[in-house]
Structure 1
Amino acid sequence: MAKRDYYEVLGVSKDASKEEIKRAYRKLAVQNHPDRNPGDKEAEERFKEATEAYEVLGDDQKRQTYDQFGFAGLEGMAGGGTHDYSTVFRDFEDIFGDFGGIFDSFFGGGSRGGRRRSSGTGNRGADLRYNLEVPFRDAVFGTKVEISYRKNAACSVCSGKGTTSGSGKRVCPTCGGSGQVRRSSGFFSIASPCPTCSGEGYIIENPCSACAGSGVQPKNQKIKVTIPPGIEHGKRINIPGQGDAGSNGGSPGDLYVYISVAPHRFFERDRNDLYCVIPISMTQAALGAEIFVPTLDDKKIKVKIPAGTQNGKILRIRSEGVPHLHNAQSRGDLYIKISVSVPTKLSGKAKSLLKEFSELEGENTHPEPVPLSQLR
């Protein structure tokens, strides 16, 4: 079944403010939460659908990507269509207040007193950047690209725990597990990371020899990235969870793929339209002709050149430009600029015919200047 538009799911307009989106999501979440509708699978699905919509529209970057690329852009970001609903709860106090604890239990999030621990639950992995150059044609029509990069992954020996088999971790005796120590300075009390456990709140008694207790090891990673049709130079694709692994069970970072579009030999792009220059002869321009123009997807389109066509004239070929993001069947236009080629070498007969033509036309030897605006 086709997914519904996220704005439709939340019942808000596309220019809705962040506050309006929060209010709409709160209303739907409260109405459809499984604790309020036990055994109602449809309510549970509506709850998940609303949460997925808020995960995207409540995040400025994801919302911008969705507005520009639709579900195709989010497919590339999500690394296969999975959704990490835990990101919704970063501002739960702002949206739901004490109601957040119920949502934590539903999604399996660890909590203490209804709130996530701020220390001792692991550090989030680092975000990574990957620069990807794609051919002009692939940026226009979209593609899938396999990329290879190096990242920190969970240690294969200790499964990311950082300890040897049979050993464990104990609470740091210096900070008592808080990860912080305080010292007094005059009237002030200053907190700083615990020097014994480096802010982790625990000490590994027997560190894993493979990762030295860090829980991570460098490895080469290969993934496929979806390049949505119509992506522009300088845009980025966010792939959650494909950055460095977190330590002590912390969540992984994200991978940001920055797109660089290689120039094309003949075509240039302006939004959804394509432009190119097509040379024709003087006789084709004067008498008119039918020529075949190549398109970006390797077709040949027959174009009629009107008699008397001037150098620099622009002709439009409809629906041969860049596909629209939300409707691949609809495309922009292809504009061709006519360049009239003047021969540099003429046979004797050609010179004679052109001279005769010049005498018949009575060519002007005192031409008036043409306004520059006519050449633009």
Structure 2
Amino acid sequence: GFGGGGGQGFASMDEALRTFMGAFGGGGGGGRSESIFDFFGGGFEGGEQAGAMRGASKKATVRISFEEAARGVEKELSITNFLTCTSCSGSGARTKNGIKTCTTCQGKGQIYQSRGFFSMTSACPHCQGAGRIITDPCTTCKGVGRVKEKQRVKIRIPAGVDNEMRLKMSGYGDVGVGGGETGDLFVYIEVEPHEAFQREGDDVYLDLPLTFPEAALGSKKEVPTPFGETVRLQIPEGTQNGKVLRVSSKGFPNVHGKGQGDLLIRITVETPVKLTDKQKTLLRSFEKTETPSNHPRQKGFLEKIKSFFRE
């Protein structure tokens, strides 16, 4: 059989566990069922300070312009955090003599209990796991060791960030309790849309309208970039509507430092409107001089239509 406390024997392990659970207020009757492993939660902690609790992490959102996302920018945020109380330097006591070691747990913050061949660890009920008793609380923080205050935080936003990206600032959350670690600050990025540019990954698109003569004869155009500068773009002769011209390395820098995107110029050939009689006469004269070689796409389209009807 299984040996129990005080010489008691158990016929099986199940009986031994039921006896153990009963000794600690678990199992049996109409009470809720608990896992045996619930009783071992605190017995394997490391050397962290007794009663220490990590501070909460904070969230903030910053809105930046399209150009700021391309170049990178520094912003200042106003956040409200729990900070270390300056009156007591975080001790929670008004004076050095206002802190006493808990006599119940001898400053360990935990107590150990044994029942038969089982033992368990739990937080000290006298000091709530702190390992110390504050007998003379700080009047500023009321013995907590931290106070809620507003603070200004500068954050460097790297070039190439995009919507919904998150930046982590370690140690800018709430100060921990009882010597616990300080939480973090997570900053979420919102990039304002641009009137002219559209972003796809690290590439940037720009729609460029051309007149019919500019597209047919070719031209040179100054086009803007997301960095506030302009580049000269050579429009080749016979440029068609919808053609995309590429300017290398004028898009967004990759936020992870993996190269840079391109600036892609989408051509829109604008058909003239509100023509004068003279302009119409000139266009009709021009039309009479055209040959099929001037319109290779139209020629190919007509040939496809003819072959369709032949079939």
TM-score by length of 2: 0.71
Within a 5 Å distance, the mapping from 1:124-273 to structure 2 comes to 124-181=54-111, 191-273=121-203
> Which of 48, 51, 57 pairs up with 1:118?
48
Question: Aligned partners of 1:126 and 1:327: how far apart in 2?
Answer: 31
Whole-angstrom CA distance in 2 between matches of 1:159 and 1:334: 54
For 1:202 and 1:327, locate their aligned partners in 2 and report how far apart those are by CA, in whole Å. Answer: 50
- Structure 1 residue 313 and structure 2 residue 243: aligned? yes
Point out the structure with the larger strand share.
2
| Structure 1: stretches of 5+ with no match in the other structure | 1-114, 371-376
Rg bigger for which structure? 2
Amino acid at match of 1:339: T
Higher relative contact order (CA 8 A, sep 6+): 2
Q: 1:252 to 1:366 in 2, by over 3 A?
A: closer
Distance in 1 of aligned mates of 2:251 and 2:106? 64
Counterpart amino acid of 2:281? S
The answer to whether residue 241 in structure 2 is matched with residue 302 in structure 1 is no
Call closer, same or farther: CA 1:192–1:369 in 2, change over 3 Å: farther
Distance 1:185 1:258 in 2: 51
Q: Tell me how far 1:358 sits from its aligned partner.
A: 3.2
Q: Percent identity?
A: 39
Who is 1:280 aligned against? 210
Give 1:338's aligned residue: 267
Distance 1:355 1:119, change over 3 A: same
Secondary structure of the 2:97 match is coil
- Deviation of 1:324 (Å): 5.2
Structure 1 Cα separation of the partners of residues 244 and 186 of structure 2: 40
Alpha-carbon separation, structure 2, partners of 1:231 and 1:311? 32
CA RMSD of aligned residues (A): 3.1
Q: Does 1:352 align with 2:300?
A: no
Could you tell which deviates more after superposition, 312-321 or 120-129?
Answer: 120-129
Q: Which whole-Å CA distance do the structure 2 matches of 1:337 and 1:198 have between them?
A: 67
Q: Any stretches of 5+ residues in structure 2 without a counterpart? A: 1-44, 293-297, 305-311
Residues matched between the structures, number: 255
State the Cα distance separating 1:325 from its structure 2 match. Answer: 5.7
TM superposition score normalised by structure 1? 0.60
Secondary structure of 1:167's counterpart equals helix
Could you say if the C-alpha distance between residues 352 and 186 of structure 1 is closer, same or farther in structure 2, counting changes exceeding 3 Å? farther
- The 3 A distance-change label for structure 1 pair 367 and 359 is farther
- Return the offset for 1:338: 0.4
